[in-house]
Homo-oligomer: A and B are copies of this chain.
């Protein structure tokens, strides 16, 4: 099978944007209700070679959506409900652009789907944990990824006219899955009966009107003329129930400052050196340089400059950048520097003001960033050396790692103190993974008592021996062995098949229960990735390749 270049030759994707630069979305706010209007520019594709007709989308469209979803959280504490709708006259959204998909390589497709899934998960999280409820006003055909976007909201109202329907035509039309959560949310979120889901997902033309309500595909239908009002009324009602402060002032998410100089990527608190020869991104995360403000007012005054928030945004950008633009770098090695007491002081401020909307948003952003790390198809190592600062919330990076190396003792000739790690409150509930468990709970699934014991050791500085005894680190070589042991581990990792590592890590990282989110990244995405490799979808005569050419796809009829 010919594998197209993963990305058409083009500059790296930049995930940083802001509303002044949106080309595809219009964000309007009236009182406590925001409206995200989708109005995709046909000629506004991120890459050449396809037109974004009928509000179909590509990664660029979703980067803007993700930005809007993020800004609504931080910049608009007053907004308690968000209406997602189309600004086009005759269509809601036609889903992911098919020509874009058909001309993309495997890696690009997989990465695109992962990002769009994360954005939809963030929409659901806003409703569940942040008092910002999303609803969809479906004012025209709503197909594939368009319906999957609606599925991520908490309430779907659809125009009851001859033109408007919801559909998941991927299977009959394109020989791929509704992989942006569609299949999972149908049966696991909306509890659509499996036989009806089977029918719906094989019905190219979709379902409209009363049957869509009866089958649970939408929550309500109203005449076209009533649609906007119905959505506004519902949004106003949801906003009233929100615990977000109606009169608070948001903080500005100022641009994330980043310089890329050759293989060095530098932010304010994060640096990354891309070592192409060894296939490693060497990432250093710096703790805060000063004490946190004395009170929550100071936190608000700092806004985007407040260390935990600034760092989370930088890490998020780095993860997205490396995932999309540095596919050949299979291992991310995390180091930290800084002072543990300053990290824990910042954590404490967030803990003390957990009722403050901004403190809550910062914790939730960390939660999303760490989840993004967990579901990244990269190996993650944590390297704890003298002078490191794996404390409090920063220790969560070590818990997110596939393995960790902690240097036992000091280095000869190096005045830096021996590495210690310090558990903080954040590891005990602030940042559940997609499986709903904390990283400590996942780690000690068979020994839950260990988590309780460790909770009593919050704030203790554990040296390598103590950390190993506590089960918190994997290996603790001393100065003599460190260089070789870490070097060999990195070299070995680089020698393994990237695909096998991806499948292995995705299986080992998420022990325990499953949720809609974890099912999307496991069952659904894994199947989709498989299908994205199958000639029936992507071969010369595969459905995705011949779509729109007038040719009929040819299928190998054998079931695997």
A526's partner among B279, B471, B498, B523 (CB-CB below 8 A) is: B523
Task: Produce 1/0 per residue, A508-546, CB < 8 A to B.
Answer: 111111100001001110111111011111000001000
Chain B residues within an 8 Å CB radius of A519? 514, 522
Chain B residues within an 8 Å CB radius of A183? 504, 507-508
Chain B residues within an 8 Å CB radius of A186? 508
Chain A interface size, as a band, is: 35 or more
Chain B CB within 8 A of A184 CB: yes
Chain B CB within 8 A of A493 CB: yes
Question: Smallest CB-CB separation from A177: which chain B residue?
Answer: B503
Known contacts: A202-B492, A401-B195, A526-B527. The answer to whether A499 contacts B534 by CB under 8 A is yes
The answer to whether B110 and A560 have CB atoms under 8 Å apart is: yes
Chain B residues within an 8 Å CB radius of A107? 558-560
A520 CB to closest chain B CB, in angstroms? 10
Chain B residues within an 8 Å CB radius of A177? 500, 503-504, 507
Chain B CB within 8 A of A77 CB: no
Task: Produce 1/0 per residue, A181-198, CB < 8 A to B.
Answer: 001101110110111111
| A96-123, CB < 8 A from B | 106-107, 110-111
Chain B residues within an 8 Å CB radius of A445? 187-188, 191
Chain B CB within 8 A of A245 CB: no
User: Which of the 9-residue segments A12-20, A131-139, A167-175 touches chain B?
Assistant: A167-175
Chain B CB within 8 A of A502 CB: yes
Chain B CB within 8 A of A6 CB: yes
The answer to whether B559 and A511 have CB atoms under 8 Å apart is: no
Chain B CB within 8 A of A297 CB: no
Task: Produce 1/0 per residue, A340-376, CB < 8 A to B.
Answer: 0000000000000000000000000000000000000
A471's partner among B187, B193, B559 (CB-CB below 8 A) is: B193
Further 15 A-B residue pairs, CB within 8 A, beyond A174-B500, A497-B553: A171-B501, A177-B504, A183-B508, A187-B445, A195-B403, A196-B474, A377-B560, A497-B543, A500-B531, A502-B559, A502-B560, A503-B531, A506-B527, A513-B513, A523-B523
> What are 24 A-B residue pairs whose CB atoms fall within 8 Å in the complex?
A106-B560, A172-B492, A191-B511, A195-B401, A195-B474, A196-B474, A197-B508, A198-B402, A198-B403, A198-B474, A201-B504, A202-B492, A327-B558, A328-B557, A494-B557, A497-B536, A500-B536, A502-B559, A503-B527, A503-B530, A507-B523, A507-B527, A526-B527, A526-B530
The 8 closest A-B CB pairs, nearest first, are A191-B446, A175-B497, A526-B526, A503-B527, A187-B511, A183-B507, A522-B523, A514-B514
